[in-house]
Amino acid sequence: DITLSEGERVDPGRQGSVKKRIPMMSSDLNAMAYGAFVAERTLEMMPEDEPQEAVYDWLLNILAACGEKNPRIVALAAGWQLLPLAGVGPKYDVCAHCRTAIEGNAFFDAAEGGALCPVCAESIQHKRPYPEAVRGFLQLLAELDFGNPPSFHVKKDELLGAESLLLYTIDELIGKRLKSVSFLSQMGI
């Protein structure tokens, strides 16, 4: 918790206090790397100079979960949960164009608003495959409560598919590759 004074180029801090300590973030490189990914995404997607207390509290819970749970899954879930908090939440189970329920395998396009049925996807150039198993996993992640997370198992293809769609969505929405993504890639995690 910090109080800032408005400055010309930098807002200097007047006072501050630690709201929550997260010991694993300083001793576990994986937790720190995935936490940096979540923090950088949050910084890029939320408007500057606007109080975001709910997002800040959400971020504290996410960072704590990175130190307690599998940080890769936590960061992935946080990535999907941040989209609606930033006002750009994609459609997961209905077509973003015609609003029909998505059944079976479909397509996904971040710029078009998420899931696309095969008919609407025909005219979209940059669509991505959106398998049914990935769709179910994304819905689980989007609704995951970090205060009381359920036990679940995920298959490799579902995890990689959800990660690939998230990175593609981030790139489309903010127009650049995050530095933390490059760092995670260099670390091989």
Summarize pLDDT for 148-184 with one digit per residue, the tens: 777 888 999 999 999 999 999 999 988 888 899 988 9
Instruction: Judge whether residue 3 has pLDDT over 80.
Output: no
Q: Percentage of the chain with pLDDT > 70?
A: 100
Phi and psi of 126, rounded to 5°?
A: -100, 25
Q: What is the mean pLDDT of the chain?
A: 88
Q: What is the pLDDT of residue 94?
A: 95
CA-CA-CA-CA dihedral for 184, 163, 51, 43, to nearest 10: 30
What single DSSP character describes residue 150?
Answer: P
**In this predicted structure, what is the pLDDT of residue 17?**
79
Q: What is the pLDDT of residues 17-67, one digit of tens each?
A: 777 777 777 788 899 999 999 999 999 998 887 888 889 888 888 988 887
Entry pTM: 0.85
How buried is 82 (Cβ within 10 angstroms: 0-12 exposed, 13-18 middle, 19+ buried)? Answer: buried
Q: Which two tokens stand for residue 52?
A: 């975001």
Residue 110's pLDDT band (cuts 50, 70, 90) = very high
